Chains A and B, each alone.
Chain A
Amino acid sequence: MGYVIRIRPKPVKPLAVVLAPVASFALAFIVGGLLMVWAGVDPVSGYTAFVQGSLTTFPGFMQTLVQATLFMLMATGIAISNRAGVLNVGAEGQYIVGAILATYVAVELQQTLHPALVVVLAMLLAAIGGALWALIPGVLRGYMNVNEVVTTVILNWLAYRVLQWIIRGPLRLPGPQLYPMSPPITATLPVLEPSSGLNAGLIVAVALAVFSYLMLFNTEIGFKIRVTGSNPDLARYAGFGVERVVVLSMSYSGALAGIAGGVEVLGNLHYLFEGISIGLGYTSIIVSLVARDHPLGVIAASIMFGTIYSGSSFLQTATHLTYTFSKALEGLIYLFVLVTTLFAFYEIKLVKVS
């Protein structure tokens, strides 16, 4: 017997779906503007840089899409597990595991096999790795009712430690380096736009979001996921095998995060290092929240978050603001978006569980 905070989508008017995020942006920008004034930067030029670096210029928008790709993959997965009533806070760890396995496959096989085949195998293994990493908390939650938030966070740290070890050990690029990293990956994802490095990952992400949408609302398993998330007792009563639904949706969530890891190393970086883990998996939880756990909404929300990300990065380049300032601004926007959408879209209740 204990209490849990249950967060559930509540019905809202279509206008509010657009208005709430917009309003939260406006609020965050006002506060951010005040911060800029305080830091001695003209907010108008600051925000001009922000928008140029993310939306109004071609390279800026490409950068936004590169970032949106990762959010899209992870948030889609999180949305699906949320729909089943499981909160996957472990996307970050699953993403790391995906990145490690993709790098490993690529580095091991790129000399001997055709690059296309290597890419396919690497992405596949990234997905499987992410899925298995999520399977652990999934099984613990589904069959033993162990809180998935705790286990996923623990596994995130474990994944990060494994990453630190692997780039200093088995996947280390020999010779003196600025920081520990893996050998370069030559079998890379097809590039769509060379200057930004926008790659086929985006196509994969959009396709998976659309597939997830169709699966969720039009297939038997999607139906079971939604019933389980809405009322697990009812799902058990209807003979849905709640345990399996929980494990399955968690693994699916992990697979998508794993693929995001694969896209990051095979598409964007072309090598593996500690810096791949910058908390995108956590941010993706907010992305899926803003999208109200709707896979098509995730596409839009990801682009929105990609904008924030690349906008605030460019802000730092264009003004004399520091990296930490731009990160603080980014965090501020996330915070506003999170709080606004949480209260606008969700019903928050303390419920008793036995």
Chain B
Amino acid sequence: MSSRECQAIVEMRGIVKRFPGVVANDHVDLKICRGEVLAILGENGAGKTTLMNVLYGLYLPDEGEIYVKGRRVSHRSPRDAIENGIGMVHQHFTLVDDLTVAENVVLGAEKFRVFYDLEKLAREIDEFMRTIGLYVDPLKKAHELSAGEKQKVEILKALYRKVEVLILDEPTSVLSPIEVRELFKTVRNLKSTGISVVFISHKLDEVMEIADRIVVMRGGKVVGELARHEATKQLLATLMIGSRAVNIEEKFGKRVRPAGKLLEVVDLWVKGDRGEDSLKAVNLVVRKGEIVGIAGVAGSGQRELAEAIYGLRPAWRGRILLEGKDITRAHTVERIKMGVSLIPEDRLRYGVAAELPVYENIYLEKVHLEGRKSLLDRVGLRVLDKRGMVDYAKKVVEKFSVKTPSVFTNAGKLSGGNIQRLIVGRELERKPLLVIADEPTAGLDIAATNFVRKTIVEMSEAGAGVLLISSDLQEVLELSDKVVILCNGEVMGVFRPGELSMEEIGLLMSCAKRMSKEEVERAWGT
């Protein structure tokens, strides 16, 4: 869509938003046209989400003006924004777990009612969803939904409030490839009904696929605005990253021959949070110097597998062996001491202790790795070597380029991307024998992603075993020596990258096909 045809529904002029120490938005102008898909592209901390939070009324701008349909507005809360036809779906969902889909959709949109007929409500919502063409069982409770379904409900919530501009903040970060395709279909659908969609992302491929117009932000400013046909990946990457030379298609070739067995998982059964069988009879081998990738639709048992191997979730059947030693019942401490490290998927929960300084957050598990000599040490009164902790943290911060004012800053003040770097640094710098990397690059920008991938490959070259869990199938195929496909908690297939076509992999991921026992055994044998 060229600017000539643009019928502006929202116009933001000279928006400035400052936070202590940073200017998140520095005189930003932005136009949203009717019925377009506008992508706002930028690395973490470029100011994309802040800008949209200003529009959505979550932040008041320090300077600047907002016009909706030519009328000057001031959004003091999301309620104001919604009244003006602007809705937003955040990365973290805001559904009430114990309420049904139908209740979640209407919650807050209507007057408070003490009594209502749930079935009637469900029928209404059912009909509403059918007219929109976006369907989730209205009587399901929110906690029973997958991430993709939750996102649909969030979108439905906004549409129910009759928004004309729908802002999606990094909507694909929680979705599997199949769910992403569905989301894109929804976005195109909405567009055809005249709704404008703002798509915040740092992923070039997605932006190239879905957007009509792309606005690139860097360091709080708009640094480029292109129609899709004008854009190339390399051009966008250069705009996004600036002068820093980064090869977006960097390859990480291999390296060493895997040696003896490091981790062996035998007939593992694990329960999920709601008592269901999350893993069923899973067998797995990771050799020294080998990267084994786990791929599958989100919620196929990846998180449970990582937690079971790390000792956060009990196995009710089966065995886990590390270097031949049975660790099925070993406490997490024992596993940490034996050299197991986990980059957890749920960074909000397991990320950092927000009120503690960066250096203590980096030290974390190393507390177990120091000797206990005297009696005081043994009763837990070992005096910590603060200088050593600080020096070590400085090394990690530098090596993994964690952006922080100092190692004494509280970890809670760091941005999401930097917390992720801190975690990766903490887990990799203590020279583990086995790395369980659960979505290690989710939410990272291109440069940081490349760095983490390179580090993981280097670790395996140095002899560590890596279990790489990722919803980015490309990442799994590119980095792994072997790939395991999980579906519904079962191993559907094991193969080397390149042995199967994307279609075959897709079938395995959706439980539509299962490799034979012989094929799987052959794959493990090599």
B353 near A230 with CB under 8 A, answer yes
A239 interface residue per 8 A CB criterion: yes
B206 interface residue per 8 A CB criterion: no
Complex CA distance for A241 and B368, rounded to whole angstroms: 12
B383 near A218 with CB under 8 A, answer yes
Could you say which of A219, A231, A238, A241 contacts B383, with CB atoms under 8 Å apart?
Answer: A219
B350 near A233 with CB under 8 A, answer yes
Complex CA distance for A220 and B344, rounded to whole angstroms: 24
CB distance from B264 to the nearest CB of A (A): 22
Contacts A227-B353, A230-B356, A237-B342; is A218 near B384 (CB within 8 Å)?
A: yes
Cross-chain pair count, CB within 8 angstroms: 81
B380 near A221 with CB under 8 A, answer yes
Complex CA distance for A238 and B353, rounded to whole angstroms: 11
Q: Which residue of A has the minimal Cβ distance to B366?
A: A238
**Which of the 9-residue segments B8-16, B331-339, B394-402, B516-524 touches chain A?**
B331-339
A231 near B354 with CB under 8 A, answer yes
Q: Which of A224, A239, A354 has the most CB of B within 10 A?
A: A239
Complex CA distance for A270 and B523, rounded to whole angstroms: 80
A234 near B350 with CB under 8 A, answer yes
Residues of chain A lying within 8 A (CB to CB) of residue B311 = 239
B380 near A224 with CB under 8 A, answer yes
Residues of chain B lying within 8 A (CB to CB) of residue A233 = 349-350
B352 near A234 with CB under 8 A, answer yes
CB distance from A292 to the nearest CB of B (A): 11
A223 interface residue per 8 A CB criterion: yes
The size class of the interface chain B forms with chain A is 35 or more
Complex CA distance for A147 and B273, rounded to whole angstroms: 21
Q: Which residue of B has the minimal Cβ distance to A2?
A: B98
Query: When each residue 1-21 of chain A gets 1 if its CB lies under 8 Å from chain B and 0 otherwise, what string results?
Result: 100000011010000000000
For chain B residues 84-105, which have a beta carbon within 8 Å of chain A?
97-98
Complex CA distance for A224 and B98, rounded to whole angstroms: 34
For chain B residues 42-99, which have a beta carbon within 8 Å of chain A?
97-98
A1 near B312 with CB under 8 A, answer no
Contacts A220-B381, A227-B364; is A241 near B355 (CB within 8 Å)?
A: no
B367 interface residue per 8 A CB criterion: yes
A239 near B333 with CB under 8 A, answer yes
Complex CA distance for A161 and B311, rounded to whole angstroms: 44
A236 interface residue per 8 A CB criterion: yes
B171 interface residue per 8 A CB criterion: no
Complex CA distance for A241 and B311, rounded to whole angstroms: 12
Q: Which residue of A has the minimal Cβ distance to B353?
A: A230
Could you say which of B336, B354, B381, B410 contacts A239, with CB atoms under 8 Å apart?
Answer: B336
B382 interface residue per 8 A CB criterion: yes
Could you say which of A1, A215, A218, A239 contacts B98, with CB atoms under 8 Å apart?
Answer: A1
For chain B residues 7-29, which have a beta carbon within 8 Å of chain A?
none
Complex CA distance for A354 and B97, rounded to whole angstroms: 10
Residues of chain B lying within 8 A (CB to CB) of residue A11 = 410
A352 interface residue per 8 A CB criterion: yes
CB distance from B428 to the nearest CB of A (A): 15
Residues of chain A lying within 8 A (CB to CB) of residue B273 = 354
Residues of chain A lying within 8 A (CB to CB) of residue B356 = 226-227, 230
B506 interface residue per 8 A CB criterion: no
Q: Which of A227, A233, A237, A354 has the most CB of B within 10 A?
A: A237
Query: When each residue 225-257 of chain A gets 1 if its CB lies under 8 Å from chain B and 0 otherwise, what string results?
Result: 011001101111111010000000000000000
B445 interface residue per 8 A CB criterion: no
For chain B residues 403-443, which have a beta carbon within 8 Å of chain A?
410
Residues of chain A lying within 8 A (CB to CB) of residue B382 = 219-220
B386 interface residue per 8 A CB criterion: yes
CB distance from B415 to the nearest CB of A (A): 17
Contacts A1-B97, A237-B342, A352-B97; is A221 near B381 (CB within 8 Å)?
A: yes
B351 interface residue per 8 A CB criterion: yes
Contacts A219-B381, A220-B380; is A239 near B353 (CB within 8 Å)?
A: no
Complex CA distance for A241 and B336, rounded to whole angstroms: 13
B149 interface residue per 8 A CB criterion: no
Complex CA distance for A218 and B376, rounded to whole angstroms: 13
Complex CA distance for A1 and B96, rounded to whole angstroms: 11
A237 near B353 with CB under 8 A, answer no
Q: Which residue of B has the minimal Cβ distance to A215?
A: B381
Residues of chain A lying within 8 A (CB to CB) of residue B312 = 236-237
B350 near A219 with CB under 8 A, answer no
B481 interface residue per 8 A CB criterion: no
Q: Which of B352, B356, B380, B386 has the most CB of A within 10 A?
A: B380
CB distance from A290 to the nearest CB of B (A): 18
B277 interface residue per 8 A CB criterion: no
For chain A residues 140-190, which have a beta carbon within 8 Å of chain B?
none
CB distance from B115 to the nearest CB of A (A): 23
Complex CA distance for A354 and B274, rounded to whole angstroms: 11
A223 near B367 with CB under 8 A, answer yes
B365 interface residue per 8 A CB criterion: yes
Q: Which residue of B has the minimal Cβ distance to A10?
A: B355
A238 near B381 with CB under 8 A, answer no
B351 near A218 with CB under 8 A, answer no
Complex CA distance for A234 and B419, rounded to whole angstroms: 13
B164 interface residue per 8 A CB criterion: no
Residues of chain A lying within 8 A (CB to CB) of residue B353 = 226-227, 230-231, 234-235
Complex CA distance for A239 and B342, rounded to whole angstroms: 12
CB distance from B291 to the nearest CB of A (A): 23
A-B contact pairs, 11 of them (CB 8 A): A9-B355, A219-B383, A219-B384, A220-B367, A226-B355, A234-B351, A238-B364, A239-B331, A239-B332, A239-B333, A239-B335
The 4 closest A-B pairs by CB, nearest first: A221-B380, A230-B353, A239-B332, A239-B333
Residues of B that sit less than 8 Å from A by CB: 97-98, 143, 273, 310-312, 331-333, 335-336, 342, 344, 349-356, 360, 363-365, 367-368, 377, 379-384, 386, 410
Known contacts A221-B381, A238-B365, then 8 further A-B pairs from the complex at CB < 8 Å, ordered by chain A residue: A220-B367, A221-B379, A223-B384, A224-B380, A226-B356, A234-B350, A237-B350, A241-B331
